[in-house]
Structure 1
C-alpha cells in the first residue's frame, strides 16, 4: 500500500493541488488590467498616508482658516485644545471625507501619471527619458485628479472647520463652541452647498487649487525621480530610500505652492465665516485672494500652518510614495521604462 509509486502519486497529486491553487491566486491578480492595478495601488497608498497624518491636517486647517480660538495658538497648544474639547476623535474630524476623497484622488493621480507618462514617451520620444517627463506627467495627473474629486475636498474642509464641544452631557447635546452652521456629514455638506450655489458652489476655490497642484504635483514627481537616480542600484528597493526621497520631494514641492493652499482653504470656508460680506464673496479669484490676505491679514498669514504642514508632509508624501511602490510590487505591476542616467 505504501509503495514508492503510491508515494510519488500522492506527492504529485498534492503538487497539482498546490499548483492549481497557486495558479488560481496568480490569475486573480494577473488578469487585472495594469491601469486597474495602478488605481488600487494609488488609492490604498493615499488612504494609508492620509490617515497617518489626519490629526496634523485638522490643526493645519484650523490655523489656515483663522478659526476663532485658534488664531494665536501654536501647533502644540492647538493639539491640546482640540483634545480638551473634542477628545481623540476630534483629531479625525473630517478624516472620513478626507479618506473618501483621497482614495479616488490618489488612485487617479498615480494611474493617470503612469498613463500620461507613457503617452508622452510614445508621442514625444525626442524628449528622451529624463525626469522632465515626470514633471509634465505629474502636473497633468494632479490637475485631472483635482477636477474629479474637488467637491469632496470642499466637504472635508467645511467639516474640519467646525469646532464643537463634546464635554457637554448627552441631555443638552453636543454644542458648537462658535457660531457656525453645523453639518452632519459629507452628504449634508454637498447637498447644502449645491442648494446654495449649484455646481459653481461645489467648485468654490478650485482656481487656487489647480494653480497650486499643477506645479506641486509636477515638482513632487520630478524631484522624487531625480533623487532615485542618485541612489545605488542595490538600494533601489529599500523602503527607507522611498521614504527619504518622498519626504524631500514633498517638502520642496509644498514650499513653492503653500500660499495658494491658504487661499484655497479660506475660499472654501467663506460662507461659514461671520466676516464674509453678505450676499457676495470675499475673493474674486486667486490673485485677489493672495493680495487681499496679504493686505488685510498680513503676508505671514499666507504661510499660516506651514510649520505643521512641514511636519505632516514628511510622513504623508513619504508614506504615499513608499506605499505605492510597495503595492506595485505586490500587485506585480510591470516596471516602467527606466529613466536615463544623470550623466546621459
Structure 2
C-alpha cells in the first residue's frame, strides 16, 4: 500500500525498501552537490582571509580563498574541473552507506519509542522525530566515519597529491596513524550530528505536511521542507562541523595539503579555544555561506529523492506481491 502525505517517514516501507531508498537518495545528492562540498572543505580548513584583520601574512605557499564562486574559479584554474570532485569516490561510498544507515536507524528508533510508550503515551511528533533523528545521525556518523575522513583529506589535497588512490590512502593512514587515525575528529562529529539531525528531522516532519498543502510545483513540498529544516539545523551546529574538519587533517600529512599552514590542534575543546584565540568567533563560521548553499540543495535532493524512491520501491513490492 502506497503511503500518503499524512504518513510519517517513520512508518513507511519495509526495512529493505528504506535501505534502498536511503542509499539512492544519498548517491544522487552527493553527485549533485560535490563541487560545493569541496569548496566548503577548502574554506573550513583556511585559517586566513584577506578581509579578516586577524589574518597573518605567512601562508607558506597556501592559497587564500574568498567566497564561493571565486574559490570554484581558483580550483578550476589551478586543478582543473575535476578538482571540484576530489574525494568523490569515498564521498559516494559515504553518502550511500550513510543514507542507508540513517533512514533505517531513524525508522527503527522511532518505532521502538512508539512501542515502549504505547498508543496512549506516545511522545509529541517533534520530540519523537528529534530523538530518532539524533540517534540515527549518531549511528550513521559512527559507522561511516572513516569514509568521511577520507573524503575530507582527498578534498583538501592540491596538485601535490598526498594520497595517490583510495587503497593507498587506507594503507598509508593505517601504517602511519593506526586505526585511531581513521577516527580523528569523531567526538565533534558526534557532538555536531546529534543536534543537527534531531533538529532537521523534527523540523522536516513538522513542515512537510503543511507545505504539501500549498500545492507547490513539481510536488516540491518535500524539497522545500528539506531546505528549511537543513538551514535551521546547519546554522546552529556549524562550528562543530568546522572543528571536525580541522581535526581530520591532523597527523603526519598535515602540512602537505593545499593549505600549508593548518595549525596543530589537540582535542575538540582545545581546537575550539585555538580557533577563537587565533581567528576570533568568525573563524568558527568559515564556509558557512557555501555550507548553507550546499546543505539546502543536498537536503532538498535527498528528501525529494528518498520520498519518491521509497514510493517506487513500495509500488514495485506491491506489484510483485499482486503477481504471486
- TM interval, shorter chain, is 0.7 to 0.9
Deviation at 1:246, TM superposition (A): 0.2
Residues 232-272 of structure 1: CA deviation (Å, up to 9, x unaligned) = 65849963101100000000000000000110001011223
Residues 1-60 of structure 1: CA deviation (Å, up to 9, x unaligned) = xxxxxxxxxxxxxxxxxxxxxxxxxxxxxxxx9111111100110110111111111011
TM-score, scaled to structure 2 = 0.82
Q: CA RMSD in A?
A: 2.3
State how far apart, in whole Å, the 2-side matches of 1:330 and 1:234 are. 24
1:130 maps to which of 121, 125, 128: 125
State how far apart, in whole Å, the 1-side matches of 2:63 and 2:115 are. 51
Q: Is the 8 A contact 2:26 2:302 kept in 1?
A: yes
Structure 2: stretches of 5+ with no match in the other structure:
1-12, 48-60, 258-262, 317-324
TM-score, scaled to structure 1 = 0.77
Cross-structure match for 1:200: 180
**Range with greater deviation from structure 2 (54-63 or 294-303):** 294-303
The change in CA–CA distance for 1:114 and 1:66 in structure 2 (over 3 A counts) is: same
Cross-structure match for 1:247: 227
Q: Aligned pair 1:158/2:153, yes or no?
A: yes
The change in CA–CA distance for 1:274 and 1:248 in structure 2 (over 3 A counts) is: same
**Range with greater deviation from structure 2 (282-291 or 104-113):** 282-291
Cross-structure match for 1:273: 254
The change in CA–CA distance for 1:231 and 1:76 in structure 2 (over 3 A counts) is: closer
Deviation at 1:73, TM superposition (A): 2.3
Q: Is the 8 A contact 1:108 1:145 kept in 2?
A: yes
Deviation at 1:86, TM superposition (A): 1.8
Structure 2 counterpart SS, 1:274: helix
The change in CA–CA distance for 1:308 and 1:233 in structure 2 (over 3 A counts) is: closer
Q: Is the 8 A contact 2:40 2:290 kept in 1?
A: yes
Cross-structure match for 1:78: 71
State how far apart, in whole Å, the 1-side matches of 2:216 and 2:77 are. 44
Number of residue pairs matched by the alignment: 283
In the TM superposition, 1:1-344 aligns within 5 A as 34-66=14-46, 69-125=62-118, 126-164=121-159, 176=160, 182-231=162-211, 233=213, 235=215, 239-271=219-251, 272-274=253-255, 282-332=264-314
Deviation at 1:215, TM superposition (A): 0.4
Deviation at 1:147, TM superposition (A): 0.8
User: Highest Rg: 1 or 2?
Assistant: 1
Q: Is the 8 A contact 2:212 2:220 kept in 1?
A: no
State how far apart, in whole Å, the 2-side matches of 1:37 and 1:294 are. 45
Q: Which has the bigger relative contact order, CA under 8 A and spacing at least 6?
A: 2
Cross-structure match for 2:55: none
Deviation at 1:85, TM superposition (A): 1.6
